[in-house]
Structure 1
Amino acid sequence: MRPPGAEDTMDIHVSDSATRRDKLESAILAAATRLFAECGFAGTSIATVAERAGISKQNLLYYFPTKNSLYQRVLDDVLDDWLERMAHLADARGEPAEVLRAYVAAKLRFSREQPWASRVYAMEVIGGAKFYGEQIRARVVPLLRRDIEVFERWMLEGRIARVDATHLLFALWAMTQSYADFAAQMSLVLDKPELGGGDFDDAERLIGDLVVRALASTG
């Protein structure tokens, strides 16, 4: 029979242990995301990720037995976040202009808050999506089709002008993701260390205006 309070003590220890594991895993993933973004899959090693995370290689391998499993988890997390922010169109219930501005804002927030994650995904795609192509087909394509259906419904209802919805989405992705993937180029042109909040605010207004005006129904 356990003494009074023993179960509470065990629960606290288990909770503390889980918290430590979560923090360590988060540190590993943050380090891996940045290194994969900077160096690509081939240029990143488990040893360099462990060093960046401040742990031993053996400790890292306890969480992620191979570089492939670590890369897979990084891309899974990136895509989870990216797709969640893309849900504005799939769940569209408001006016097209409001929904589109919210979509642009969400995509730019991702670029601002998760620039390294965006660059990891970009690196994978630029390399031909050899590792992650099937997951992109399975998860991105269905959402893309749902978004296209929203645009096509708006067109049929006369709420927006008729356009190629697929290429419209490609353009939206390019305009918003470039603020992460090409932030270094933009900073050089603007002669500043990095993009600031004002730059993202300006981009949100401009991109939103461009899209809304381009899609304005002519009746």
Structure 2
Amino acid sequence: MSRIREKNQELIIQVACQLFAEQGYAATKVADIAKAADVPKPNIYYYFKAKDNLYRAVLESVTQPLLEASRPVEELDDPAEALSEYIKTKLRISRDHPYASKAFANEVMTGAKYLPDDIADKLHSQSQMIIAKFESWIERGAMARVSPQHLMFTIWAATQTYADFSWQICKVMDKEQLDEQDFANAAEFLTHLVINGCKLEQPE
């Protein structure tokens, strides 16, 4: 793929992320995306063929990092270290992909009607892996007997809220937008909360 083509696709996806996040899939028109990206409408069809394909690219721009984010849980044996890294990675996704995260959240909240089956299956497999790993830590006595499902939901909610409800968070914190230190503070606090709730020792 040429660098020019790649840059054009990245621009279109970036603009589409914001419009899909703000308006939803059904209300967002290809013409609106072309206008906001300042590119001819035929260019979008040239690169993506159909609106469905562009929406998939938007969802993949956040679901792919989300799928990779659980690698510490999958690969590390120390629950404190794994959970700490997982929380940090999930917060980085909220920081780096805010509009794509909102578009994905909107899709899930409206029943995942347009979420491709293969992406849904990968996300489901990931959640089953995370739950199984939590259960293994509990069974070997490395972690308190907490609900694996609710622990996972809590981490999802606590990290993704910094993207999905950024307006409310910035309003409460009296800021135009969150900075690096805000995300570092969030990671430290959430890690402390989860580590203590699971009765683990803080990783060094």
TM-score interval, normalised by the smaller of the two chains: over 0.9
Correspondence for 2:112:
129
**1:87-110 per-position Cα deviation (integer Å, ceiling 9, x unaligned):** 2211223x2111111110000010
Q: 52, 59, 84: which one pairs with 2:43? A: 59
Superposed CA RMSD in Å reads 1.5
C-alpha distance in 2, partners of 1:125/1:143?
16
One-letter amino acid of the counterpart of residue 194, structure 1:
Q
2:124 pairs with 1:141: yes
Mapping of 1:155-174 within 5 angstroms?
155-174=138-157
**1:23-75 per-position Cα deviation (integer Å, ceiling 9, x unaligned):** 11111111111111111112211111112222100121111222122112211
Which runs of 4 or more aligned residues in structure 1 lie more than 2 Å from their structure 2 counterparts after TM superposition? 133-137
Correspondence for 2:11:
27
Correspondence for 1:71:
55
Correspondence for 1:101:
84
Which consecutive unaligned segments of at least 5 residues does structure 2 have? Answer: none
Correspondence for 2:196:
213
C-alpha distance in 1, partners of 2:144/2:129?
18
Correspondence for 2:162:
179
How far off is 1:135 after superposition? 3.6
Shift in alpha-carbon separation, 1:84–1:160, aligned structure 2, 3 A: same
Shift in alpha-carbon separation, 1:89–1:69, aligned structure 2, 3 A: same
C-alpha distance in 2, partners of 1:126/1:135?
18
Are the equivalent residues in 1 in contact too, given 2:56–2:116 (CA < 8 A)? no
SS of the equivalent of 1:140 reads helix
C-alpha distance in 1, partners of 2:167/2:76?
33
178-187 or 132-141, larger mean C-alpha shift: 132-141
SS of the equivalent of 2:2 reads helix
Paired residue total: 200
C-alpha distance in 2, partners of 1:61/1:68?
11
C-alpha distance in 2, partners of 1:61/1:134?
23
2:23 pairs with 1:39: yes
> TM-score, normalised on structure 2?
0.93
Q: Which has the higher contact order (CA 8 A, sep 6+)?
A: 2
How far off is 1:136 after superposition? 4.6
Are the equivalent residues in 2 in contact too, given 1:28–1:60 (CA < 8 A)? yes
One-letter amino acid of the counterpart of residue 164, structure 2:
D
C-alpha distance in 2, partners of 1:102/1:216?
17
> TM-score, normalised on structure 1?
0.87
Are the equivalent residues in 2 in contact too, given 1:92–1:150 (CA < 8 A)? no
2:45 pairs with 1:80: no
Q: 129, 136, 151: which one pairs with 1:153? A: 136
Which consecutive unaligned segments of at least 5 residues does structure 1 have? Answer: 1-16
